[in-house]
Structure 1
Amino acid sequence: MTPEQLLRVAEEFCAVHRVRVRSFGALVGAAAVATARIEGIPVHADEAAAGRALAESVVRLAPLTARNEEFAEVAREVFRRLHT
């Protein structure tokens, strides 16, 4: 998931739940976790693990002013759909 894709998801989520993006850097960081590679080798065993890492990163980085746990699950589901 690119940072731009995650931002689009966040914008929709924020509009529905009346929250705001608190940190664009945190959004970029969470997106990077899902697609992380070292010397071209993915750090996650599979797409499911990458999706879980994305969700965990959203919760820990808390890019929104509230409802980050719910946003994490939405982001994970969107990620899964993008990669199936």
Structure 2
Amino acid sequence: MLTGEDALIAAEEVCAATGARVRDLSALVAAAAVPGTRIGGIPVHRDRAEARAALAEAVARLQPLTGGNDALARVLDRIAFG
């Protein structure tokens, strides 16, 4: 499971590599929550592929960094899905 702390560590690494900075911490944590979201114990996403796509879309829409969000999405994907 991807945590907000995992996402912040990943974001700091991406920022160090790209010169970006965290623009919105809440957006970063919200994006991290997407792939593992459950309602009443039932997963929101049908399968791994749908969860991966939703994570990428969340990062793209929320833009938690001032730059390098594509790189962040790839790193978060690796953390969440291996």
Q: TM-score, normalised by structure 2?
A: 0.89
Shift of 1:62: 0.2
CA distance in 1, matches of 2:13, 2:39: 32
Number of residues of Structure 1 aligned to a counterpart in Structure 2 = 81
Q: TM-score, normalised by structure 1?
A: 0.87
- Structure with larger RCO (C-alpha < 8 A, sep 6+): 2
Q: C-alpha offsets along residues 15-72 of structure 1, whole Å, 9 cap, x if unaligned?
A: 1111100000001110111111111100011223212211110010000001212321
Structure 1: gaps of 5 or more residues: none
Structure 2: gaps of 5 or more residues: none
One-letter code of the match for 2:4? Answer: P
Query: Percent of aligned positions with the same letter in both sequences?
Result: 51
What's the secondary structure of 2:57's corresponding residue?
helix
The alignment yields a C-alpha RMSD, in angstroms, of 1.2
Q: Tell me which stretches of 4 or more aligned residues in structure 1 moved more than 2 Å.
A: none
One-letter code of the match for 1:54? Answer: L
What's the secondary structure of 1:34's corresponding residue?
helix
Counterpart in 2 of 1:52? 53
Counterpart in 1 of 2:24? 23
Shift of 1:73: 2.1
